[in-house]
Structure formats: structure tokens, C-alpha cells
Structure 1
């Protein structure tokens, strides 16, 4: 049994370095108390930098944790996803319909995180 090696085909005007995913602009919103974890700021307009592969929701959550989340990350993320009780909408649609963590982000997407858990 032989292993197949990937084949790189280069056209006359293509180059591997041109295969970077372009930076994308997103509108992020946090509500239902989730904004308290982000210094009380409900809306964030962010630009994700270019990288070798397209941005997806899983990578966005890592980026949010590293760049925006100010306190108590355990109230927002659990493992590599959002904590249960956080509703996520992508362009006004439930992220479960969009592929959840696998959803490939597009320039100008609107991503909303709403905490449905409230103290009493």
C-alpha cells in the first residue's frame, strides 16, 4: 500500500503566498448580561487579520477570548465553544442552523451572543 502525497499545482500567475484568507470585518454584539464580561460594551466592530485558512466560528471564539473578553471567561466559553445558556445568532439566524463552530465567517457578518441565564 502506498501513501498519496498532496500535489501542488502552480499556474503561471498563482503563488502559494496568494492563498491567504483576506481580513474580514465583523459586527459583534453581546447582550442579556454577556456584555458585562466585555467591560459593559455591547457592540464591537472588529477586523480579523488575514490568515492561511478562512475564519470560522471556532477560531472567532478563540480570538474573542484573547482580544475582547475582560473577565470570567468561564461564563462565556466552555472548552472550544460557548457556554450553555449563550444564544448565538449569525446574521439573525440561530447558529445551529448555520453549522455552529464550523460556520465560515464572511466579511460584514453580524454575530450576536445573548446570555439567557440570569441571576435571581
Structure 2
């Protein structure tokens, strides 16, 4: 993937998380390539879910980042699905994203 290439993904939010993301449940995202780290600047870093989570925080999240991210990853109580499969079965944040992937974030925490 070159610097100018992007991954086209479908990202969805449920369980109240959509309220933090412009009150939209579904987003089509053109995710840019992650920046390369200096010692391996010639080597491209693949876009993984960890990169997507931070990109979403910086580019789509409209308010209250603490309700989405904690300690560099999604907060406990947020279920993440990769193409309808629990991300724990796919390597969690290290899952390397592919063109057309569907990533769903669902909050399982409810006030009461």
C-alpha cells in the first residue's frame, strides 16, 4: 500500500456509541496508510484496528473521547466485531485491516 492509497471500510456504532460519532450509526471510511516509524521508514506499517481506533478518535469522534478510548484501546464494555466475528478471535487491535472490512463497535454498558 502506498502513501496515497486508502482502505475503504464500513464502520458502525451501536449501543449508544453512535451519539459520540455525529449521531450516525454507519460510516464509510477511507482510512489512510499509517505513518512509517523512523528506523524502518522505507517499510510500510499495515493499518490495524489499533490505528483505526485512534484515527476514529481524531477524525470522527465529536465528544467525550473517554467514553470510547481508555489506555490506548477501546474501553472495557465495548464489543468490537470484525466482519461479524469477535475481535478477540481475530487478534484484537493487531488485526490487519483489509479492503472492504466491516468493523462494528457496540457499547454493552447501559445507565440505569
Instruction: Sort the TM-score into its range (normalised by shorter chain).
Output: 0.7 to 0.9
> How far apart are 1:20 and its partner, in Å?
2.8
Q: State the TM-score, normalizing by the size of structure 1.
A: 0.81
Counterpart of 1:75?
Answer: 67
Q: What is the total number of aligned residue pairs between the two structures? A: 102
> 2:46 aligned with 1:46, yes or no?
no
Structure showing greater radius of gyration is 1
In 1, distance between residues paired with 2:22 and 2:96? 27
Q: Which runs of 5+ in 2 are unaligned?
A: 35-43
Describe the SS at the equivalent of 1:39: coil
> 2:76 aligned with 1:84, yes or no?
yes
**Structure 1 runs of 4+ with >3 Å offset:** none
Counterpart of 2:40?
Answer: none
Counterpart of 1:63?
Answer: 55
RMSD (Å) for aligned C-alpha atoms: 1.3
Indicate if the aligned counterparts of 1:20 and 1:53 stay in contact, CA closer than 8 A.
Answer: no
> 2:85 aligned with 1:93, yes or no?
yes
Q: State the TM-score, normalizing by the size of structure 2.
A: 0.86
In 2, distance between residues paired with 1:25 and 1:75? 25
In 1, distance between residues paired with 2:33 and 2:107? 30
